A and B are shown apart, each in its own frame.
Chain A
Amino acid sequence: MSDSKLMKTLLALMLVLLVALAACSGDSDDDQSEGTDSGSDSEDSTETEDGGDNELYSVEDFSQIKSNEGEAIEGGTLTFGLVSDTAFEGTLNWNFYSGNPDSQILNWFDEALLTWDENYVYTNDGAATYEIDESGNVFTFTIGDNVNWHDGEPVTAEDWLFAHEVIGHPDYDGPRYGSDFTNIEGMAEYHSGEAETISGIQVIDEKTLEITYIQATPSLITGSIWTYPLAKHIFGDMEVAEMSASPEVRENPIGFGPFKVESIVPGESVTMVKNEDYWRGEPNLDGVTVKVINPNVIVQELESGGVDTVSEFPVDQFPDNADMSNVEYLGMIDRSYSYIGFKLGTWDKENGEVVTDPDAKMADVNLRKAMWHAVDNTTVGERFYNGLRWNATTLIPPSHPEFHDETNPGVPYDPEAAKQILDEAGYVDVDGDNFRETPDGEELVINFASMSGSEVAEPLAQYYIQAWEQVGLNVQLIDGRLQEFNSFYDRVGQNGDDDPAVDIYSAAWGVGIDVDPRGLYGRDAIFNFSRYSSDENDELLAAGVSEDAFDLENRQKVYNEWQQFMIDEVPVFPTLYRSELVPVNNRVHNYYIGDGTNMYRYDIAVTQEDTIVAE
């Protein structure tokens, strides 16, 4: 039941109770119970009428771009609902932020110097352009002449270099210093304090910067370049350790995007006005207000016109609100997938790599494949998510259309095949308890870790357990219950202390804009929670980022092979792909979600001063 329904039901129930209690405090109990029953009954029946439990939707029916009805006016302000149950942190600078809420605000007033297309490859349409030399290691960037900070100072190559210097500084307290930076020549020496400057970054002139990378990989042009400058004329004299807490980040943040921050109510809202000097042109809107709204009231805020659009919308609330009259839903395939993982080893903290254990309980690939065969993810997607999540086939989701192998069917739902595989592999029921034993005749109990949080978490976990039971596998929830987010990831091994009690787990990944899966499945990746490793996997993953992979066809071939390889080996199996929906008020023009739409925020306009209210 959606939250709005829940509230309505509660309201009805409470009112009935109130009336019953207040009116007949001395009367018999019968009246009360009757009143309560009828109240909840009528709610239930309306629920099934308009709940649309069986109605199916498909993400393909949604557009990424808002259709424009009517004439846009000049000016107007847009209210953007930042959906979050906590206050936003207020670290309003790309170089220091760490939370998603902050990035939602940053998007409005600051931007990256390079933009990317629908395949997440950097284009030359952004505030800066780039050229790669023949070796593939040296990039030359040119920042547009009309790109200026909000205070009128030009965005310079110095600023871009300065961002690298700050992030690479030992005192830097943000989370950005990683392999993207250590891949720059001289960065490691600078970070350790051996060098005063970063030898791989040269400022050619005011607007031109040259960066030399150690290893040329196709990943460089799909998101591995740091494209956010840091205003040196503001931060230049500050201690690196003090920058992220400074008023220049928290109270008067600066950028070069289409809007300028006017005022901030800490943790609650940010008011912005248009940046007339924006390098693409003057924005249509006069301003934008970003305000935090609680996830419980998203629908009400949209209906009452409190916000024009929201940063995210829970898809499980969509069926109940599909015909909201004042909004249009935009949709796209989310860069993420749900999956079930098998624990196949442990993490070696000393050497920072995966140790695969050939004797692990789940080490038999036949067992793993049978478990994939046993679950019907198409039905799960339809029943639990009305088709807005759907059966996943490979570990590269369709949000990366260039690399997702559409022709690969994955492992289809086929319980008979599952039984057959198990029979052949020697997993048979010896002691007659309807559960299969291991080939050695020992009892087989598989411990399943699953996360709490969403409303369907519990039934979903139960569904999987039943599906496995039907092919004769005894799967039990760890501790007999779902795990809370933090303890789930502790036990699965986010710190490398894997809990040996976990045999299988169900989780989800949001994937980066770069398709390279090494961060999740590489031998040295701590996030490789299944702890699977093999030489062939290493080879394929390395081939995907080799120099040969600069050739798109070659890279596609490698990743198609890798997708098939993971299907053959099943260290984890994907269960559902996801869609992302965003409702937008009918008065808004030129709104868009996702990448590669060739639309920009300064285009956004409105058709009337006030937000349209639902009928």
Chain B
Amino acid sequence: MWKFIVRRLFVTFPQIVLLSIIIFILAQMMPGDALTGLIDPNIDPAAIEQQRERLGLNNPWYVQYADWVKGAVQGDLGQSFRYKMPVTELIEQRMINTFWLSLLTLIFTYVMAIPLGIISGRWNDTWLDRAITGYTYIGFAAPLFITALLMVWIFGFHFGWFPTGGSVAPGLTPGTFEYFMSKLQHLLLPAFSMAVITTVSTVQYLRSEIIDTKQKDFIITARAKGAPESRVYNRHIFRNSLLPIAAFFGYEISGLIGGSVFIETIFAFPGMGKLFLDSVLLRDFSVVSSVVLIFGIAAILGALLSDIILSIVDPRIRIK
């Protein structure tokens, strides 16, 4: 297996390089740059031009790319123009927020999806199953941002149960219990909003797997041997049906860093997704390139992780 992992990483390396080049060129092709927003008669245009020169924004893209790669290899992703701080520091700040948000989303997703999927699969074609599949269809159809907006409006403003923006209430000291609770409270609504939508595909997977497995020969055998129904479901069917979900898990983990542009924007939650969008809009190139690179690496590693998990949980699969 180690051989496989090493080989896989070896293959992914050129992918990442290619990705970074494409991102860099695309970023350069966007009209405007980080200084466009400074069109202001109170600021001397000469000062803006001087900054452009100093930041190297007037250089051709390959020179800028070379500069960037030189830094990136040494772990220095450059300086964010807008935030005037190192990109690594900025990303670290945002990644922590996104990590907790995604983790909670993941927990919500599985807590909802697994029971729903089991109920739906075990008693398929009953009214309960229809209700659950009905929900999954709505979930598939409803765009995430509409759902999120509804959630903010209903639970945030109408009932006032949850805060509607930010990641923590102002003025609390990090490390205290109150700070932790405030963080959690700020996470609940966005995490739940996202989970409501992301859960539906898992429910569907689980349901169809269970229905599929139910008719397999070994289940009939188990029943014929007189195993009680609960044992049949909990031991035999459930374990076998979790395979695709386990495979999916790797991708979900990569989502932990990626975050969600929609959710984070609607909830004004300072995470990676929002950082990405803001940087694109403000043409903060060094941040855009770095963030996309991290997303890319996360996706590639996620796929790798999925394969590894799969090989562990399913002995029939051998990676060579």
Residues on A close to B: CB < 8 A? 7, 10-11, 14, 18, 21-22, 25, 85-87, 89-91, 96, 98-99, 173, 175-180, 223, 244-245, 250, 262-263, 265-271, 289-294, 296-297, 300-301, 303-304, 306, 484-487, 489-490, 494, 509-512, 519-520, 525-527
Q: Verify A297–B157 contact, CB threshold 8 A.
A: yes
A180 to chain B: which residues have CB within 8 Å?
44
Known: A173-B54, A175-B38, A490-B32. A293 touches B268 (CB 8 A): yes
Q: Verify A25–B36 contact, CB threshold 8 A.
A: no
| Minimal beta-carbon separation of A26 from chain B (angstroms) | 9
A87 to chain B: which residues have CB within 8 Å?
270, 274-275, 278
Query: What are some 30 contacts across the A-B interface (CB < 8 A)?
Result: A10-B146, A10-B149, A10-B150, A21-B138, A22-B138, A86-B281, A87-B275, A90-B85, A175-B38, A175-B51, A176-B43, A177-B44, A178-B44, A179-B46, A245-B84, A263-B171, A265-B167, A265-B170, A268-B166, A269-B171, A289-B170, A297-B164, A300-B153, A300-B156, A306-B164, A484-B31, A486-B283, A489-B32, A490-B36, A512-B41
Q: Verify A173–B84 contact, CB threshold 8 A.
A: yes
A245 to B85 CA separation, bound complex (whole angstroms): 5
The closest CB in chain A to the CB of B164 belongs to: A297
Query: In this assembly, does B221 line the interface, its C-beta being within 8 Å of a C-beta of chain A?
Result: no
Q: Verify B32–A485 contact, CB threshold 8 A.
A: yes
A576 to B134 CA separation, bound complex (whole angstroms): 52
The closest CB in chain A to the CB of B79 belongs to: A245
Known: A173-B51, A177-B44. A294 touches B165 (CB 8 A): yes
A437 to B130 CA separation, bound complex (whole angstroms): 68
Query: In this assembly, does B282 line the interface, its C-beta being within 8 Å of a C-beta of chain A?
Result: yes
A306 to chain B: which residues have CB within 8 Å?
164
Q: Verify B31–A487 contact, CB threshold 8 A.
A: yes
Chain B 64-95 per-residue mask, 1 if CB under 8 angstroms from chain A, else 0:
00000000000000010011111000000100
Q: Verify B164–A25 contact, CB threshold 8 A.
A: no
Kindly name the residue among A11, A18, A297 whose own CB sees the greatest number of chain B CB atoms within 10 A.
Answer: A297
B142 to chain A: which residues have CB within 8 Å?
14
Q: Verify B42–A490 contact, CB threshold 8 A.
A: no
A486 to chain B: which residues have CB within 8 Å?
30-32, 36, 283
Query: In this assembly, does B160 line the interface, its C-beta being within 8 Å of a C-beta of chain A?
Result: yes
Query: In this assembly, does B229 line the interface, its C-beta being within 8 Å of a C-beta of chain A?
Result: no
Q: Verify B47–A177 contact, CB threshold 8 A.
A: yes
A384 to B265 CA separation, bound complex (whole angstroms): 28
Of the candidates A11, A98, A489, A526, the one whose C-beta lies within 8 Å of that of B150 is A11
Query: In this assembly, does B48 line the interface, its C-beta being within 8 Å of a C-beta of chain A?
Result: yes
Of the candidates B39, B138, B149, the one whose C-beta lies within 8 Å of that of A18 is B138
A18 to chain B: which residues have CB within 8 Å?
138
Query: In this assembly, does B173 line the interface, its C-beta being within 8 Å of a C-beta of chain A?
Result: yes
Q: Verify A519–B41 contact, CB threshold 8 A.
A: yes
B171 to chain A: which residues have CB within 8 Å?
262-263, 269, 271, 289
A266 to chain B: which residues have CB within 8 Å?
93, 270
Of the candidates B37, B45, B134, the one whose C-beta lies within 8 Å of that of A525 is B45
Known: A265-B168, A525-B45. A22 touches B134 (CB 8 A): yes
